[in-house]
C-alpha cells in the first residue's frame, strides 16, 4: 500500500515537472523578449543623450567663444618688453613694458591676440634675462609698480 | 524488495525536489533585485584630493576656499542674491557646478583606486559599455551568479567612468578663473599692490591662491558692484549673466553625462540577465 502511494507521488511529480517545463518554456521566451527590448531601450537612450551632450558641448563652445571675443575686445591688455624704459628705485631695476588695450580672440591659440604686432603678448612674462649695467644677466619678476604691471630685476 | 522500491522512490522524489529548488536562472525575486539595486550617491566632496601637491590643484583648492567665502557674502547681500540666485529652482548655478564636479571627482578617485583591483580590471575589460554601445556577448562572461555580478557591478562600475582629472580641472578653471577675473576687474576683489608674494598682499586673491596652505583664509569682498548705483553695474551684470548662462549649460551637460552613466549601468545589469538567462535556458528546457 505504501509503495502504491509513493508510486502515485512519483508519477504526479513527473506530470508536474512536465507541466512546469512547458510553462517555463513560454516564460523564458517572454522574459527573453522583454530583456531584448530593454537592451534596445537603453541603447537608444544612451545614443539620444550622447547626441544631446554633443549639442550642449557645441552651444557651450559658442558661448565661451562669444564671451572671449567680448573680453578680448574690451578688457585684454598686451605687453611688449621695452628695455629702453628702465629705471632704478631703491637699488632695484624696473622695466615698464609698452601696453596696448583691446584685441581679438584667436580660437586656434585660445588667447587674445594683438591686431597687428605679434611682439605684444597677452601676459607679461618677466622671466627673460636682463643684462644689468654690471654685466650680470638676471631673470626678472612680475610686480605692480605705481599701479602698472612691470618687471623688477635684482641687479647688484 | 518493498524497502528497495521505497528507497528508490524517495531518491527520485529527493532528486526532483532538488531540481526545483535549483532555480537561480529564473528566480523572479532575484531578477527584480538586480534591476532595482540602486547605488547610493557619494557626496564626500574633495577631501581625498585636497592633499595634492600639484600647483594647479593647490590653486584650485584655494580658489574653492575663496569661492565659499564669496558665496557666504552673497547669502547676506540681497542685491548679489538677485543677480546670482536662480529663483525658479532656488539654486546658485555656480554652487551647483561645484557640487557636480565634486561628485565627478569622487567617482574619478574611486576609479583610480579600483583600477588596481583585479576584479575591477576584469570588469573594465569585459563589462563596461564602449562608444559603440555594444556589450560583449561571450557566454563565459555571464556564467556567474547574480549575487556575484551585482557585487562586481556595484563595486567596480566606477572604472567605466570616461572622464579624467584634466576634464574636471578644465571645468573648475572655467568657473573659478572667469568668475574671479570678473570680480577683480569690477573691484569686488582687490588687486595686488607691489610684489605679488609680499606679505602686504596676504589677504588678496593672487597672493592667497599661490601661497595659502591653510584650510581657511581671510579675504575682503567689496560688494558695491552688485548695487544698482554702481557706475559700471550694467557691464558687470552683463558679464556675470553671460558666465551664468555658460555655467547653466555646463550643469545641464554634466547632468546629461550623469544620466548616460546611469543608463549604462542599467544596461549592463539588464544585459547580464539577458545573456545569463539565454545561457541557462537550454539546460532547463532539455531537462
Number of Cβ within 10 Å of residue B87's Cβ equals: 8
Q: Which of A123-132, B30-39, B77-86 has the lowest mean pLDDT?
A: B30-39
Q: Are strands A111-113 and A104-106 parallel, antiparallel or unpaired?
A: antiparallel
Q: What is the mean pLDDT of chain B?
A: 82
Helix axes B55-75, B165-185, angle to 10 degrees: 50
End-to-end C-alpha distance for chain A, whole angstroms: 120
Name every chain B residue with its beta carbon within 8 A of the beta carbon of A147: 193
Taking Cα atoms as reference points, which of B259, B275, B256, B266 lies closest to residue B129? B266
Taking Cα atoms as reference points, which of A128, A135, A148, A68 lies closest to residue A103? A68
B260 and A32 within 8 Å at the Cβ level: the answer is: no
pLDDT, mean of residues A116-136: 88
- pLDDT over 70, % of chain A: 95
Given a cut of 50, is residue A125 above it in pLDDT? yes
Give A150 to chain B, closest Cα distance, Å: 9
Helix/strand/coil percent split, chain B, to 5: 70, 0, 30
Given a cut of 50, is residue B53 above it in pLDDT? no
Give the pLDDT band (50/70/90) at residue B6.
low
Given a cut of 50, is residue B52 above it in pLDDT? no
Name every chain A residue with its beta carbon within 8 A of the beta carbon of B259: 49
Q: Which of B17-26, B184-193, B276-285 is modeled with the greatest confidence?
A: B184-193
A53 and B257 within 8 Å at the Cβ level: the answer is: yes
Given a cut of 50, is residue B99 above it in pLDDT? yes
Going from the C-alpha of A112 to that of each of A14, A90, A106, B91, B172, the distances in angstroms are 83, 35, 6, 33, 21
pLDDT, mean of residues B4-11: 62
Name the residue of chain A whose CA is nearest to B257's CA: A53
Give B283 to chain A, closest Cα distance, Å: 11
Q: Is there a contact between A76 and A112 (Cβ–Cβ < 8 Å)?
A: yes
Q: Are strands A104-106 and A86-89 parallel, antiparallel or unpaired?
A: unpaired
pLDDT, mean of residues A130-143: 88
The pair phi, psi for residue B32, each rounded to 5°, is: -65, -45
Given a cut of 90, is residue B282 above it in pLDDT? no
Q: Is there a contact between B264 and B160 (Cβ–Cβ < 8 Å)?
A: yes
Smallest Cβ–Cβ distance between B263 and the set A13, A49, A152 belongs to A49
pLDDT score of A30:
80
pLDDT score of B271:
92
pLDDT: is A61 or B33 the higher one? A61
Whole-model pTM: value is: 0.74
Q: Which of A26-30, A60-64, B230-234, B283-287 has the lowest mean pLDDT?
A: B283-287
Given a cut of 90, is residue B60 above it in pLDDT? yes
Q: How far apart are CA A134 and CA B118, in angstroms?
A: 64
Given a cut of 90, is residue A63 above it in pLDDT? yes
Given a cut of 50, is residue B41 above it in pLDDT? no
Give B257 to chain A, closest Cα distance, Å: 7
pLDDT score of A8:
84
Count the alpha carbons within 13 Å of B107 in the hemisphere toward its beta carbon: 24
pLDDT: is B42 or B50 the higher one? B50
Strand, coil or helix: B108: helix
pLDDT digit string, tens, across residues B135-156: 988 888 888 898 999 999 999 9
pLDDT digit string, tens, across residues B241-253: 999 999 999 999 9
Place of cell 547681500: B77
Amino acid at each position: 500500500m505504501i509503495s502504491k502511494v509513493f508510486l502515485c507521488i512519483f508519477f504526479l511529480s513527473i506530470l508536474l515537472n512536465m507541466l512546469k517545463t512547458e510553462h517555463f518554456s513560454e516564460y523564458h521566451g517572454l522574459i527573453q523578449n522583454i530583456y531584448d527590448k530593454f537592451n534596445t531601450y537603453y541603447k537608444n537612450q544612451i545614443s539620444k543623450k550622447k547626441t544631446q551632450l554633443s549639442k550642449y558641448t557645441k552651444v557651450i563652445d559658442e558661448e565661451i567663444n562669444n564671451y572671449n571675443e567680448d573680453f578680448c575686445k574690451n578688457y585684454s591688455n598686451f605687453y611688449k618688453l621695452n628695455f629702453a624704459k628702465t629705471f632704478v628705485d631703491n637699488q632695484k631695476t624696473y622695466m615698464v613694458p609698452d601696453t596696448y588695450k583691446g584685441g581679438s580672440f584667436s580660437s586656434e591659440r585660445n588667447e587674445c591676440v594683438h591686431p597687428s604686432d605679434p611682439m605684444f603678448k597677452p601676459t607679461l612674462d618677466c622671466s627673460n634675462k636682463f643684462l644689468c649695467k654690471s654685466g650680470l644677466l638676471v631673470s626678472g619678476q612680475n610686480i605692480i609698480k605705481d599701479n602698472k604691471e612691470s618687471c623688477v630685476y635684482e641687479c647688484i | 524488495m518493498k524497502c528497495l522500491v521505497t528507497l528508490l522512490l524517495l531518491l527520485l522524489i529527493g532528486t526532483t525536489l532538488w531540481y526545483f529548488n535549483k532555480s537561480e536562472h529564473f528566480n523572479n525575486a532575484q531578477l527584480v533585485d538586480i534591476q532595482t539595486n540602486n547605488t547610493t550617491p557619494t557626496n564626500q566632496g574633495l577631501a581625498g584630493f585636497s592633499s595634492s601637491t600639484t600647483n594647479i590643484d593647490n590653486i584650485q583648492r584655494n580658489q574653492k576656499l575663496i569661492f565659499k567665502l564669496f558665496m557666504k557674502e552673497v547669502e547676506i547681500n540681497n542685491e548679489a542674491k538677485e543677480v546670482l540666485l536662480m529663483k525658479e529652482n532656488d539654486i546658485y548655478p555656480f554652487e551647483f557646478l561645484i557640487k557636480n564636479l565634486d561628485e565627478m571627482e569622487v567617482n574619478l578617485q574611486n576609479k583610480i583606486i579600483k583600477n588596481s583591483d583585479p576584479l575591477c580590471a576584469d570588469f573594465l575589460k569585459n563589462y563596461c559599455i564602449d562608444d559603440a554601445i555594444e556589450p560583449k556577448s561571450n557566454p563565459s562572461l555571464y556564467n556567474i551568479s547574480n549575487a556575484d555580478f551585482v557585487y562586481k557591478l556595484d563595486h567596480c562600475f566606477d572604472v567605466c567612468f570616461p572622464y579624467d582629472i584634466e576634464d574636471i580641472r578644465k571645468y573648475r578653471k572655467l568657473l573659478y578663473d572667469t568668475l574671479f577675473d570678473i570680480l577683480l576687474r569690477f573691484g569686488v576683489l582687490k588687486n595686488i599692490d607691489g610684489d605679488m608674494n609680499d606679505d602686504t598682499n596676504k589677504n588678496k586673491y593672487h597672493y592667497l591662491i599661490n601661497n595659502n596652505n591653510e584650510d581657511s583664509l581671510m579675504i575682503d569682498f567689496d560688494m558695491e558692484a552688485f548695487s544698482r548705483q554702481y557706475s559700471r553695474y550694467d557691464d558687470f551684470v552683463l558679464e556675470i549673466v553671460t558666465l551664468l548662462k555658460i555655467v547653466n549649460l555646463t550643469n545641464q551637460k554634466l547632468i546629461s553625462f550623469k544620466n548616460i552613466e546611469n543608463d549604462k549601468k542599467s544596461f549592463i545589469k539588464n544585459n547580464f540577465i539577458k545573456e545569463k538567462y539565454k545561457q541557462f535556458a537550454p539546460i532547463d528546457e532539455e531537462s
